[in-house]
Structure 1
Amino acid sequence: MVTLQLRQLSVPPGHRVMFHNVNWQEFEAIIEELGDHRAARLAYSQGTLEIRMPLPKHEKAKVIIGDLVKILLEELEIDCESFGSTTFKREDMASGVEPDDSFYIQNHALMIGKERDLTIDPPPDLAIEVDVTSKTQLDAYEALGVPELWRYVHGKLQINILNDGKYIESEISATFPNLPILEAIPQFIEQSRTVGRSPTLRAFRQ
């Protein structure tokens, strides 16, 4: 059997690599070897590991969506703890994900001043993924019990609400039930591409 080092692996932007039959100890070792300061994102579910390298347009959309969510939370005076692309994992569920952004909202008070340990802490209340195409990630989010997952794919926003352990698509956000999230988020992302980030965020706040 040939053994290669992860540093020998190069994933072009916009591509992903799948590894099968990866056990939990190997997944933990890969996380440690890759370290925290990397552009690649990992997702692990039931022995399948995905390593993906986002495109620049992915990063821009991710940042804008995160900024829009923060503005909503601030203007509505809803407290939160932002955990960004933190690795969330549980060995007993054989699942791990690194969302593009994540927020503790209903459970924010539990996470003040903490890192995260899903064996004792709840999962984030809202996670955001951009250009998600892998079923592996969706399975992992379901296993970890993330209540609400936003997926921004090809210019459209999809809201997934956890119901009896499975996601169902919803036209209403559980986090912002009184706001037209499905229409507003894509609209302002598109606006940011023509007028820029700062004017877009100011217009959104108004």
Structure 2
Amino acid sequence: MVTLQLRQLTVPPGHRVILHNINWQEFEAILTELGDHRATRLAYSQGTLEMRMPLPKHEVAKVIIGDLVKILLEELEIDSESFGSTTFKREDMNFGVEPDDSFYIQNHAQMIGKERIDLKVDPPPDLVIEVDVTSKTQLDAYEALQVPELWRYEAGKLQINVFQDDKYVESDISPNFPNLPIIEAIPTFVEQSRTIGRSAALRAFRNWVRDTKNI
């Protein structure tokens, strides 16, 4: 049997490594060894660990969508706490996942000042964002953690998944922003950022929210 150390593994951008038969203690040890300041992203599902290195295309989309959500929250005067790509995990369910971005909205008050999350006592984030470029989002992990709303952005389209009756169903409406056409607006302004630039697109989006919310 050959034993490899994590530092011997290199995951090129846009690629992923899948490790099988990883128990929970090994998953926790890998998280500790890799640390918080890393480019690789992890997803753990009942013994299978996926390590992936995002492409610049993925990172650009992730950042712009997160910025758009923050503008929505600000302009609609909705209080929130942002937890980014925090590792959300539960040993009793054997799942762990790191979203591209995450927000506590309904449960924001109890998350103020939190530096560590224990999903046995803390609620899952109210909204998570995943950008699918080189791999597909693992819905089973988010279903196990019972995340209420999941956005998946892929190939210029936004899919809104709402957790109902222990599974996700697609929705044309975001429960967190029910009065705005989010499913059309987010892809429109992400694409706009590719042509006029990030700052101009964010300003345009802010103006759009201000105009649309009063209709």
Normalising by structure 2, report the TM-score. 0.93
Give the partner amino acid of 1:176: F
Q: Which structure 2 residues correspond to residues 33-182 of structure 1 after superposition, within 5 A?
A: 33-115=33-115, 116-131=117-132, 133-134=135-136, 137-182=138-183
Residue 53 (structure 1) shift: 0.6
Runs of 4+ displaced beyond 4 Å: none
| Superposition CA RMSD, Å | 0.9
C-alpha separation between the residues in 1 aligned to 2:182 and 2:21?
38
Give the partner amino acid of 2:58: H
Normalising by structure 1, report the TM-score. 0.97
C-alpha separation between the residues in 2 aligned to 1:167 and 1:15?
27
Q: Deviations over 1:85-136 (max 9, x none)?
A: 011100011000110000000000010011211111000000000016336x
C-alpha separation between the residues in 2 aligned to 1:47 and 1:179?
40
Consecutive unaligned residues of structure 2, counting only runs of 5 or more, are 208-215
Q: Deviations over 1:58-96 (max 9, x none)?
A: 101000000000000000000000000011100011000
Aligned residue pairs, count: 205
Consecutive unaligned residues of structure 1, counting only runs of 5 or more, are none
Give the partner amino acid of 1:75: E
Residue matched to 1:194: 195
- Give the share of equivalent positions with the same residue, in percent: 81
